Structure 1
Amino acid sequence: MKSCLVILLVSVLALVQASAYRGSDEDYSVWPAATLDESHPHSSNWPCDVGHFRQAYVLMHKVDKRLAQIDSEDLKKRIQNFAVDELRRCTANGQMDEHCVRRSIGITMAFIHHQKTQANRL
């Protein structure tokens, strides 16, 4: 009986954490519209073939925030090309897989960290 109660309690806590995590995300639906005109609903830094997918906004927003902290134009271009390649891998049959994009966020952030570390060593 006690083990069932513990399992139930842990499950409820996990659900509460999951809903709080989802609720704490920024509202990315506002981001592109606030920065651009009506003809291109995404940042001009991103190609249209990936930029017009709403699922891509999270990754694009995170990368744009990181790029703002970097001075080297070469490094910025390398990171952006990597992110675009990741987004293109998530596109199939005219649709973008949101789960793939979310996995790509971690991969891209790790790539950015690695590139910044390498740049600092030089």
Structure 2
Amino acid sequence: MSTDTPTNTLPDPSAKAAPEAPVLERRDEQGGAKFKRSIYALPVTVDVIVGSARPTVTELLGFDEGSLLALDRGVEDPVDLCVDGRVIARGELVEMEDGAGIGVRITQVVDVAEDALG
């Protein structure tokens, strides 16, 4: 059996703790710019809302080829451009010059930040 006195492994409460080194934030401006560029390059789906309707289920079940669904807007009314369900702009439908379909000419950009504040 050992008769050695056990050593105290707990810190001495009367001893002052060493001051911690300050944490410095390093802002990598080049990395931040690269991050912004990568975010800006992300594709976003834009939904173009021409109008809406609220038919009953019975009316829906009665649809056949050639049925007509009346919308809440006129042909000349602006369409809404939406991202993630939020209107970001309004515009008018136009036929593309090359005849390759239709497009939207932007007529109004909605202030999304103002809209979000209510």
Please confirm whether the aligned pair reaches a TM-score higher than 0.5, indicating the same fold: no
Greater RCO between the two (CA within 8 Å, min separation 6)? 1
The structure carrying a bigger helix percent of its residues is 1
The structure carrying a bigger strand percent of its residues is 2
